[in-house]
């Protein structure tokens, strides 16, 4: 591992699309071991101090200023470790509290291409430990002739065209950040006068009826982002829900996410608008969608009232969002509120491989 790089030094980096997000992927061994030096390097590479990231490679929105740090794993059930970082550009900091299921989709191909995992002829299963939440995922990557194949015929909402499928399979992700699937111990709470369901099935999410905060739930993300009063109302609920969920003071955290729900209009299970947590998502996060889908199956939850009841052990829930839908496969466990496994499809693509240049006064 290198010591702190100096201005003008170059660090290997791959820019990838993972699902509907985009980020910079690094090998941990190419970064300083010291966390503070590592974060200074990443912030410099991505751009910070103002939201546009004009002096870095970040995309200037929460969905395009994400970082994956990948290394070999010492966990007995994992091949690689994936540490996710959400760059909060205008505040010049990185939030390591959440994981990200979209960036996760690029981790398998990246690890294979970097030689951390041997590819098989056909499909390669990469066992990934999501370090932020200490949970496990198996990603199945297309590798004909032992090489990552990005081209394919899988379409996901929010990404133009088609690409090779990345199957993501999870088990044991209930309570990933909060310690329990229902972190408040209840399926329904009233926070600031609003009925909510606080849930963590891979991602802490507060689910509330759009109508409870004066929205229809079918607005465009742009119009919701322009509604200062609504956003303040949603943030007030979030700040109160965070401690109830065991997350402590969440003023400086990007969790919990806030999902406004309304009846489905396109044949899905439910319609959503998600704040992540201050900007409205163009779609919905991967594990955010898993948590909302799970809420749909919990009796008496705020989401369940919109969803017809089904008792099958294996359920496909289509979560409608601003740019389409996201299908989550849930396999129910032996007891109520237990889930055996979760699976979903994403796609990913390597966009740019090279060296990112360390900024600073190099005179």
100 near ligand NQM (CB under 6 A): yes
Given a contact cutoff of 8 angstroms between Cβ atoms, the answer to whether 271 and 283 are in contact is no
Residue closest to ligand NQM, measured at CB? 285
CA 96, distance to chain mean position in Å, is 12
Task: Choose between 43 and 276: whose C-beta lies nearer to ligand NQM.
Answer: 276
Q: Using CA atoms, how far apart are residues 265 and 202, in angstroms rounded to an integer?
A: 26
Q: Which stretch binds ligand NQM (CB under 6 A): 28-36, 135-143, 232-240, 280-288?
A: 280-288
23 near ligand NQM (CB under 6 A): no
Name the 3-class secondary structure at 356: strand
Which two tokens mark 268? 């899905």
Name the 3-class secondary structure at 317: strand
286 near ligand NQM (CB under 6 A): yes
Q: Which stretch binds ligand NQM (CB under 6 A): 87-95, 98-106, 212-220, 303-311?
A: 98-106
Q: How many CB atoms lie within 10 A of CB 289?
A: 28
Task: Choose between 43 and 156: whose C-beta lies nearer to ligand NQM.
Answer: 156
204 near ligand NQM (CB under 6 A): no
Q: Where in 135-174 is the site for ligand NQM (CB under 6 A)?
A: none
Q: Which stretch binds ligand NQM (CB under 6 A): 69-77, 120-128, 180-188, 285-293?
A: 285-293
Q: Using CA atoms, how far apart are residues 101 and 44, in angstroms rounded to an integer?
A: 24
Task: Choose between 101 and 165: whose C-beta lies nearer to ligand NQM.
Answer: 101
Given a contact cutoff of 8 angstroms between Cβ atoms, the answer to whether 164 and 150 are in contact is yes
Given a contact cutoff of 8 angstroms between Cβ atoms, the answer to whether 77 and 136 are in contact is yes
133 near ligand NQM (CB under 6 A): no
Q: Using CA atoms, how far apart are residues 66 and 43, in angstroms rounded to an integer?
A: 11
Number of residues that bind ligand NQM (CB under 6 A): 14
* Binding residue for ligand NQM, selected from 5, 285, 322, 324, defined by CB under 6 A: 285
Q: Which stretch binds ligand NQM (CB under 6 A): 106-114, 189-197, 284-292, 309-317?
A: 284-292
Q: Which stretch binds ligand NQM (CB under 6 A): 48-56, 87-95, 100-108, 324-332?
A: 100-108
Q: How far is CA 62 from CA 18, 30, 329, in A?
A: 14, 24, 26
102 near ligand NQM (CB under 6 A): yes
- Closest CA relative to residue 125, chosen from 79, 71, 156, 162: 79
Q: Where in 28-87 is the site for ligand NQM (CB under 6 A)?
A: 62-63
Name the 3-class secondary structure at 158: coil
Strands 189-191 and 135-143: unpaired
Q: Which stretch binds ligand NQM (CB under 6 A): 127-135, 160-168, 282-290, 308-316?
A: 282-290
20 near ligand NQM (CB under 6 A): yes
Length of the chain: 363
242 near ligand NQM (CB under 6 A): no
Please name every residue paired with 145 in a beta bridge, in sequence order, or none if there are none: none
The binding site for ligand NQM (CB under 6 A) comprises 20-21, 62-63, 100-102, 203, 257, 276, 285-288
């Amino acid at each position: 591992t290198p010591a702190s790089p100096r201005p003008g030094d170059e660090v290997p980096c791959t820019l990838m699309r993972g699902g509907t997000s985009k980020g910079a992927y690094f090998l941990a061994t190419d970064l300083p071991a010291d966390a503070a030096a590592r974060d200074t390097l990443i912030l410099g590479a991505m751009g910070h101090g103002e939201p546009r990231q004009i002096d870095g490679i970040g995309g200037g929105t929460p969905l395009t200023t994400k970082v994956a740090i990948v290394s070999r794993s010492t966990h007995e059930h994992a091949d690689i470790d994936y540490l996710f970082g959400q760059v909060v550009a205008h505040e010049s900091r990185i939030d390591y509290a959440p994981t990200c299921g979209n960036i996760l989709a690029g981790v398998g191909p990246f690890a294979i291409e970097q030689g951390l995992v041997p590819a098989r002829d056909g499909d390669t299963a990469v066992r990934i430990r999501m370090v932020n939440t200490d949970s496990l995922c198996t990603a199945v990557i297309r590798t004909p002739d032992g090489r990552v194949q990005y081209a394919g015929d899988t379409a996901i909402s929010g990404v133009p065209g088609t690409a090779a499928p990345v199957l993501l399979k999870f088990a044991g992700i209930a309570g990933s950040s909060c310690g329990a699937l229902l972190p408040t111990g209840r399926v329904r709470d009233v926070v600031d006068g609003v009925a909510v369901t606080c849930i963590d099935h891979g991602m802490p999410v507060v689910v509330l009826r759009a109508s409870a905060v004066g929205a229809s739930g079918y607005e465009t993300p742009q119009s919701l982002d322009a509604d200062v009063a609504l956003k303040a109302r949603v943030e007030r609920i979030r700040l109160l829900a965070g401690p109830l969920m065991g997350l402590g003071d969440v003023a400086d955290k990007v969790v919990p996410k806030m999902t406004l729900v309304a009846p489905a209009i396109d044949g899905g299970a439910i319609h959503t608008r998600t704040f992540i947590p201050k900007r409205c998502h163009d779609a919905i996060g991967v594990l955010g969608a898993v948590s909302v889908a799970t809420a749909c199956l919990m009796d008496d939850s705020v989401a369940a009232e919109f969803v017809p009841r089904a008792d099958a052990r294996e359920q496909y829930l289509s979560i409608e969002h601003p740019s389409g839908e996201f299908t989550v496969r849930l396999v129910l466990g032996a007891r109520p509120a237990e889930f055996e496994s979760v699976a979903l499809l994403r796609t990913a693509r390597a966009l740019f491989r090279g060296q990112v240049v360390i900024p600073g006064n190099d005179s």
